[in-house]
Amino acid sequence: MSNNLQDKYVEIVNLVKAYPNPFGEDIRVVDGFDLRIKQGEMIGILGHSGCGKSTVLTMVAGLNAISGGNVIVAGKEIDGAGPDRSVVFQSPCLFPWMTALGNVMLGVKRVYPHASKKERKELAEYYLNQVGLADAMHKYPREMSGGMQQRVGIARAIALKPKMLLLDEPFGRLDSLTRMELQDVIIDILNENKVTTLLVTHDVDEAIYMCDRIVTMTNGPHARVGRINEMPFERPRIRQEVLDHPEYYNIRGSLIQYLEDLEHEKEKQGQEKPPVEEETFNDQDDLPKTPKDKTEKSELVFML
Amino acid sequence: MKYKILKALDIAGLAVLDPIVRLIYREEPSEQVRKIILFIGIPAFTFLCFMVLWAYIAPRHTTKSGEVPTPAVVWDSAKSVWVFHERENIKEDDFRVSGEERQKRIAMVSAELEKLKPQLAKVDALLTKAQEQAKAETDKAVAPIMAVFEETKAKYSADSTARKKALTDLAGTIKADDKSARSEYLKKVEAHLAQTDVEKGNLQQIKAQMDAVMNRKHQGLIEARLAKNRVAEKVQFYSKRLENLGDNNQQQKVLAAKESLDKEKEKFSQASGRALYFSALKIQRAEDRLGRIETSTYAKPWTFPAQIVRSLGCVFLGFVIATVIAVPIGILCGLSPVFMAAMTPLISLFKPVSPIVWLPIVFIIVGGFIDDPEQAPVHPAFLSSAITVALCSLWPTLVNTAFGVAAIDKDHLNVARVLRLGFWSRLFKIVIPSALPLIFAGLRISLGVGWMVLIAAELLSSSEGIGKFVWDMFNNGSSQTFAQMFVVVFVVGIIGLMLDRTMIVFQRLVSFDDAPTAI
Ligand SMILES: Nc1ncnc2c1ncn2[C@@H]1O[C@H](COP(=O)(O)OP(=O)(O)OP(=O)(O)O)[C@@H](O)[C@H]1O
Ligand SMILES: [Mg+2]
């Protein structure tokens, strides 16, 4: 692989997403998102709630139609969703009628169609082992805690041997202890074999700890890349070392400052959103969250 | 052990028994007793109240088919339905039995008949006595009324003749231009007719008194009749058995037919000329006859238990047809909005149609395919009932399946997209499993609907089954059959309940989220 391709392993060029508003006019929620990602790099995406982070991620995943621009992965423009870009969402979305092993096997079967059943099982077991679920392979999702379910979700994503791993607030619903454990699980896996990763998060510390570069998006509509920060920490990462790093608090402060500035700008523009910094930044944790859109259920049925 | 039992009860849908098991294992006895009272005691009490109310009200309403039966009468008639079934089975068995066993049975049945003879004589005598006594009582009670009746009748008739004579006499005296006398006369005739009506009424009253006395029930007579019937029924049963074990017995008939065939063959071997021809013909006929006898079956009347089994078979067939149609169409509806839009008018149009309308149509169509109902592998009435059941019961499954498939979690579909699953593996690995609980909920409703529809369909199509039984009982119109209709109510209810329970168990087995199902 040429050096050039390694540096531009993933190219997101002038990405646009437009949704029609109630009056039928197209509103460009994301407008001109541009980013180049090196192979094996881990990118964090920060931004205020509703700015369009998930929109960008689902477009890269191929789950959301692209209104304009391109996404090129390993030199090829993407065409719909595929196992080369595996996704982990905030909710684990495991299939409740399958065991942990069954859920992972489904993906393994897809990626290794010619392997024997035994080989596939061994592979699935290997990945479940990696996320620390050696003892819970035969449990059903209903018998597992949220953290365990998310581990299965991670194992399922990794087992696809993806070119790219897309994580949309994967720890958003977990308590802070479990969240730290899972962060380390992912860090460990990525230390072993590097996968190009896009991590959408609300948690500034999480982004700093896990990512090589952090992309902060401007507020929507017309959200785009606002600023990119390079993280100076070495890999493999060790949490305490990162926390003790002299630059840590500077970077954190600067990121938060930038987010606050974005918010003020919005206020100046007279946007409808109320200021939210108070509750946002007094803790080390999260930006405010909007409840995740409920999945739309089909209305069809009510025709009957 | 305890938890195994509890788990088994839970899966079998018998969670009602849960507190009893826990009580046996001494777990929080007071709590368990409270639960037993709530979930077993109170329902049992309500049922008891219902029975008492029924037993009180029923005899106070008399119909053409006699009194409305009380629980005790219904219970008795349920038993008699069962006895009838068992006896028919025995008779059929007798028809087939052969050899030593047959001899043994003949001896046994004959002995039984011998024993019954004096009993029959006794109840006969008792009946005659009761009849005489009843007649004497009636005559005694009727005689004075009769005397009064005759007397009054004679008096009235004399009176009437006298009045008539007076009127005709008077008519002769009225002059041509005497208007007032004429109108007076008219009034008198009117009075005469009115008097005659009154007398007729009085006579009728006396007659009604007499009828009441004659129709009075004689407890002794009723009992004597019942006793006689019981014995006579038994005698009839054993006589019929003797017949089926004797001349009517299949094996006996086969032996006789074989014997005559052998004789014919013997003759054939010696015959010549024209006689040879006739002998050959005879051999052919004898062989035919033997074949017919060998394959003949006992002409057993349908008994209620047999009809229940057939009804269950019919509802099962209908249910299978409904499932095979409804589930695939439901899945297509759920998957494709276009297909759903296409199907909606048909579904909305046919869903509310009653089985009473479907059945005749289906009956005619099915009849078009089957020429000879008796030769067909399935009886057309049976098939049309099953199809009617299917037509009426497929809708809940269809709608639920469509709903279940359409309501599939979007995240799950996204995962399928990421995995690039093909149509079939998406269907079988994701769509169907996730819709399965709703599909089964639909199937459960369908089975309930089907069971209700079935009885009506059988009643209408005269397909042997519970519905036909009800119809026959209705047409029979005696108090005995009236009670048997009540038996049907309970049988249908209990079977319906068990079908529903079974479906709940299946529903629980496929529901992955372990959601509690409504009872
Ligand atoms: N199907 C849709 N139709 C119309 N507008 C949509 C649709 N989906 C998302 N949007 C809008 O697009 C914008 C971006 O949504 P998105 O979910 O990407 O935000 P986000 O940055 O992920 O927010 P959060 O941090 O709360 O998850 C929002 O303003 C939302 O209202
Ligand atoms: Mg989001």
In the three-class reduction of DSSP (H, G, I as helix; E, B as strand; rest coil), residue A229 is classed as: strand
The predicted model gives B379-390 an average pLDDT of 92
The answer to whether the Cβ–Cβ distance between A295 and B410 falls below 8 Å is: yes
| A197-240 residue pLDDT tens | 999 998 999 999 999 999 999 987 889 898 999 998 888 888 88
Check whether B173 has a pLDDT greater than 90: no
Q: Greater confidence, B8 or A290?
A: B8
Q: What is the residue whose two structure tokens read 């050899």?
A: B99
Q: State which H helix or E strand residue B448 sits in.
A: helix B432-461
DSSP character for A144?
Answer: S
The residues, ordered by sequence, that sit 6+ positions from B457 with a Cβ below 8 Å of its Cβ are: B355, B359, B384, B385, B388, B389, B463, B467
Contacts of A91 in chain B (CB under 8 A): 411
Give the closest residue to A155 by CA, choosing from A112, A186, A193, A196: A186
Contacts of B434 in chain A (CB under 8 A): 95-97
Closest-CA residue of B relative to A82 is B418
Helical segments of chain A, H only:
3-7, 53-61, 100-111, 117-130, 146-159, 176-192, 204-210, 239-244, 248-268, 277-281
Cα gap A31→A14, rounded to integer Å = 7
Q: State which H helix or E strand residue B13 sits in.
A: none
**What are the tokens at B277?**
């021809």
Among protein residues, the one with the nearest Cα to ligand 1's atom 30 is A50
Q: Which of B401, B419, B431, B434 to mutate to test the interface with A (most CBs of A within 10 A)?
A: B419
| Residues less than 5 Å from ion ligand 2, measured at CB | A 54
| B14-30 residue pLDDT tens | 778 888 888 888 888 88
Of B341, B407, B420, the CB nearest to A110: B420
Atom of ligand 1 nearest to the CA of A169: 27
Give the closest residue to A178 by CA, choosing from A198, A154, A162: A154
| Intra-chain end-to-end CA distance of chain B, in Å | 26
Q: How many CB atoms lie within 10 A of CB B352?
A: 7
The answer to whether the Cβ–Cβ distance between B409 and A295 falls below 8 Å is: yes
Cα gap B164→B187, rounded to integer Å = 14
pLDDT at A2: 55
The residues, ordered by sequence, that sit 6+ positions from B190 with a Cβ below 8 Å of its Cβ are: none
pLDDT at A269: 66
Cα gap B336→B332, rounded to integer Å = 6
Contacts of B417 in chain A (CB under 8 A): 62-63, 80-81
The answer to whether the Cβ–Cβ distance between A142 and B436 falls below 8 Å is: no
Beta strands in B282-327 (DSSP E): none
In the three-class reduction of DSSP (H, G, I as helix; E, B as strand; rest coil), residue B471 is classed as: helix
Strands A213-217 and A42-46: parallel
Check whether B449 has a pLDDT greater than 90: yes
Task: Supply φ then ψ for residue A164, to 5 degrees.
Answer: -145, 140
Q: Is the domain defined by B304-509 classed in CATH 3.90.420.10?
A: no
Cα gap B373→B369, rounded to integer Å = 10
**What are the tokens at B171?**
């008519």
Closest-CA residue of A relative to B400 is A301
CA angle B124, B129, B134 (to 5 degrees): 125
In the three-class reduction of DSSP (H, G, I as helix; E, B as strand; rest coil), residue A46 is classed as: strand
Check whether A304 has a pLDDT greater than 70: no
Bond into A236 cis (ω within 30)? yes
Q: State which H helix or E strand residue B514 sits in.
A: none
| B311-326 residue pLDDT tens | 999 999 999 999 999 9
Contacts of B418 in chain A (CB under 8 A): 61-63, 81-83, 85-87, 160
Are A45 and A217 in contact by the 8 Å Cβ rule? The answer is yes
Are B458 and B466 in contact by the 8 Å Cβ rule? The answer is yes
Q: What is the residue whose two structure tokens read 């197209």?
A: A26
Are B486 and B74 in contact by the 8 Å Cβ rule? The answer is yes
Tell me the best of A30, A55, A87, A201 to mutate to test the pocket of ligand 1, counting ligand atoms within 8 Å of each CB and taking the most: A55
Q: Is A64 on the interface with B (CB under 8 A)?
A: no
Q: Greater confidence, B383 or B64?
A: B383
The CA radius of gyration of chain A, in Å to the nearest whole number, is 20
Contacts of A295 in chain B (CB under 8 A): 409-411
Q: Is B410 on the interface with A (CB under 8 A)?
A: yes
Q: Is A110 on the interface with B (CB under 8 A)?
A: yes
pLDDT at B29: 85
Phi/psi-derived region of residue B68, left when phi > 0, alpha when psi is between -120 and 50, beta in every other case: beta
SS3 content of chain B, % helix, strand, coil (to 5): 85, 0, 15
Strands A10-20 and A76-77: unpaired
The residues, ordered by sequence, that sit 6+ positions from A5 with a Cβ below 8 Å of its Cβ are: A39, A74, A75
Cα gap A134→B211, rounded to integer Å = 94
pLDDT at B226: 86
Are A223 and A30 in contact by the 8 Å Cβ rule? The answer is yes
Cα–ligand 1 centroid distance for A259 (angstroms): 18
Locate the domains of chain B by residue range.
2-60, 99-230, 249-294, 304-509
| B147-165 residue pLDDT tens | 999 999 999 999 999 999 9
Q: How confident is the model at residue B217 (pLDDT cuts 50, 70, 90)?
A: confident
Give the closest residue to A166 by CA, choosing from A10, A2, A1: A10
pLDDT at A283: 38
Are B237 and B255 in contact by the 8 Å Cβ rule? The answer is no
Tell me the best of A29, A58, A296 to mutate to test the pocket of ligand 1, counting ligand atoms within 8 Å of each CB and taking the most: A29
Strands A68-73 and A10-20: antiparallel
Count interface pairs A-B at CB distance under 8 A.
84
pLDDT at B4: 84
Cα gap A198→B414, rounded to integer Å = 18
**What are the tokens at B328?**
């695939």
Check whether A179 has a pLDDT greater than 70: yes
